[in-house]
Structure 1
Amino acid sequence: MARSRSKVTMMDVAREAGVSQSTVSFVVNGSTSVRISDATRQRVLEVAEALGYRRFSHSALDHKGSRVIGFLVDEISTSPFAVASMDGAREVAWENDRVLLVSSSGSDPELERSAIETLLSCRPEGMVIASILTRRIEPPAALRDVPTVLLNCYESDNGFPSVVPGEVAGGHTATRRLIDAGHRRIAIIGGEPWMEAARDRLKGYRQALATADIAAAPELIREGNWLPSSGYEQTRALMALDEPPTGIFCCNDSMAIGCYEALKEQGLRVPEDVSVVGYDDQEVARHMYPPLTTVVLPHDEMGRWAVETLVTEVASGQKPPLRRVKMECPLVERCSVAAPRVSSSRRSGMH
């Protein structure tokens, strides 16, 4: 059960202990303001110790004085990924006896300027500028005077260190898993094409097929909108084809939920009749039946990298390389992929 200390988060402890992240927070910080049983407290503390979880050292801050890192994100409430990024950033800040000050702009340019001014007035050692969508941004000039890292976004001329998910490689990984299982008739249900993530995952899908000498059939490339309803609708359309797919790559786990439902309605089983791979590794993927094989979107690790880069820069007094890091999106193997049981031609009469 032990993990590398630098990778252990409060969420990891919560998952292993079978409690909420809020429970872990109250326990490890010694709060007595809520009623938590002694047995639960003991279990959380034992799991935290076994995993090597290190909580924030208040005494260190009291001795050294608060050192601040500013964190500005454009959206928080629209996606769980912003919280994952902040958790990773906060964990590293705490491990290095620093406080993370967080603000959200709500994608409002005026509010963004005001938030940056406020954060800079706290004299932070560095700033993290985060975006909920992977995209190009134009950071304000005021950030040129303080160490700054871009998280899930980047500048056109790479004027700041930045970290983004390796979406092309992630799309390739998801598709390659189906190919390695023996599938040749592989569909993709993508996201909205104006989003960089959707375009890159599709590019990875095409590259994986090309590498395996499999033609990308136009009828198997479907545009979704990230919601379960589009996964459902596009799966129904795919299974109505004269030669339906034996494997489906859904470009997020939410669309995979709809995909599962459409297959179930048609009396098809996952993975016996159709294999499915998702993307994002949201909590729901663990509880689908069967549990969904999916690709991790590494926002926690990206948040950690951003603060680690700032701390290293401050400690060394030297600017880090102005480069765009692409974080690996690894596959999480579960139970939704198997070898195709029958040929596509025999399956065509099943819809």
Structure 2
Amino acid sequence: MNEQAKKSSQHRGVGKVAGRQRVTMHDIARVAGCSQTTVSLVLNKNDSVKISEDTKTRVLDAAKTLGYSVPNQNTKPSTKERRSTILDDAIAFVVDDLASSPEMVNAFNGVKQAVRETGNLVLLAETQNDPEVEPSTLQFFLDQKVAGIIYATVFTRRVVVPELLRQTATPVLLLNCFSEDLLFPAVIPGEIAGGHSATNALIRAGHERIATITGEPFMECAAGRTTGYRNALASADIPFDEDLVVEGNWLPSAGYAATQKLMGLSNPPTGIFCQNDRMAIGCYEALKELGLAIPEDVSVIGFDDDETARHLSPPLTSMILPTRAMGRWVIEQLFHGPTGDQRHPLVKLECELVERDSITQPKTRG
């Protein structure tokens, strides 16, 4: 190994995967002073690109020094060997439901963005909560000796971590879910703080009659956002009125029906906090059918900051659901998180306010 590579190794170190040292192609690339793609081509004996003998030597020397298992360079690797080399650096993203909402797609994109810096491959599997598909999927990835498993759920919730994942030495990280014993690194959105911020945006504009259209109350996110709503009212000394809380189901039709009900009250709200942007779409439609202008007659705020929020008329003020940031967080924990068996504090990422044109000060009512 040349002097430059030795110094690089001493000063930069190798990747650390949640409690155990694991050498990746990214580590080899840092030590050898080349790209991860070059490392992959050399280790897999891919001759489709001309690479200098000096570069090949540096890569192989770095790999051997770091303890990376290098196939015999005098023979062409078998399909099984090539697959093994790839999967050794792979990270599995296992989610119960990917297609029903954009949140998990955003989380997966956050993971992919983060691994551009580590050089790892990300493998995706959807289980649909199937009691046979999930364990067989997890066992497949464990058999392939992946570098880590990200276990994700489309709805924020407490989960019972499968026994397969409790018994393995493979690092396991929880995304948008958490275990009661907190034995796994876990990240979820800060729903309570998000609900507080959303409600407070209406309070800061001068509103005191503030309604909320909730999601299904058994869900962690709906309960958290409603708690945040109540906390914001209490902090501003605004009395809580149960008539201003209407249960929805995350769909535009629920936002429409709930808004009709709210505006039919003898003392209707001047501001409405819709607990997701899809219900805000229905809220907009109902208000417009009633001949009410947004935000001049009724101010509206949503949650999630869906793509549709910026295209509504007027553009919808909303809260960012930090799923992309959550994806980046799990990769950071995988390579740089604390080591050893221990309890992990549940991490809650901030839901940031995106101000647009759907909130203004309320009209004075005679």
**Coarse TM-score class (shorter-chain normalised):** 0.7 to 0.9
> Which runs of no fewer than 5 residues in structure 1 stay unpaired?
1-55, 347-351
Q: Which amino acid aligns with 1:58?
A: T
Find the partner of 2:279 among 213, 237, 255.
Answer: 255
Runs of at least 4 residues of structure 1 off by over 6 A? Answer: none
- 2:107 equivalent to 1:128: no
Paired position in structure 2 for 1:94:
116
Given candidates 80, 89, 104, the residue that maps to 1:82 is: 104
Q: Distance in 1 between matches of 2:248 and 2:197?
A: 20
Q: 1:146 to 1:233 in 2, by over 3 A?
A: same
Q: Could you tell me the TM-score, scaled by structure 1's length?
A: 0.79
Aligned mate of 1:58, from 18, 37, 56? 37
Equivalent residue number for residue 207 of structure 1: 231
Partner deviation per Cα, 1:131-154 (whole Å, 9 max, x = no partner): 001111111233232111100000
The amino acid of 2:255's aligned partner reads G
1:217 and 1:311, CA in 2 relative to 1: closer, same or farther beyond 3 A?
same
2:246 to 222, 228, 248: 222
1:186 & 1:60 partners in 2: Cα distance?
58
Which runs of structure 2 are paired with 1:165-180 in the superposition (5 Å)?
Answer: 165-180=189-204
Amino acid at match of 2:222: A
Identity %: 48
Match of 1:158 among 169, 182, 190: 182
After superposition, give the CA deviation of every residue in 1:200-237 in whole Å (9 maximum; x if it has no partner). 10000000000000011111011011111111111111
Change in Cα spacing, 1:188 to 1:120, as seen in structure 2 (3 Å) is same
Deviations 1:276-314 (A, max 9, x none): 00000000001000000000111100011011110224x
Deviation at 1:63, TM superposition (A): 4.6
| 2:272–2:300 contact (8 Å) kept in structure 1 | yes
Q: Aligned-residue CA RMSD in angstroms?
A: 1.6
- Provide closer, same or farther for how the CA distance between residues 309 and 241 of structure 1 changes in structure 2, counting only shifts above 3 A: same
Q: How far is 1:194 from its partner?
A: 1.3
Work out whether residues 273 and 301 of structure 2, in 8 Å CA contact, stay in contact via their aligned partners in 1. Answer: yes
Structure 2 distance, partners of 1:95, 1:61, is 15
Which deviations, in whole Å up to 9, do the C-alpha atoms of 1:11-51 show, x marking residues without a partner? xxxxxxxxxxxxxxxxxxxxxxxxxxxxxxxxxxxxxxxxx
Pairwise CA distance, 1:61: 3.5
Give, as a single letter, the amino acid of the residue that structure 2 aligns with 1:125.
A
Aligned partners of 2:181 and 2:343 also within 8 Å: no
Q: Secondary structure at the match of 2:177?
A: strand
Name the amino acid aligned to 1:157.
D
Counterpart residue number, 1:105: 127
Change (3 A) 1:60 1:287: farther
Structure 2 SS opposite 1:268: coil
- SS of alignment partner, residue 100 of structure 1: strand
C-alpha displacement of 1:251:
0.3
Gaps of 5+ in 2: 1-34, 44-84
Deviation at 1:59, TM superposition (A): 3.3
Structure-2 change in CA distance of 1:310 and 1:341 (3 Å): same
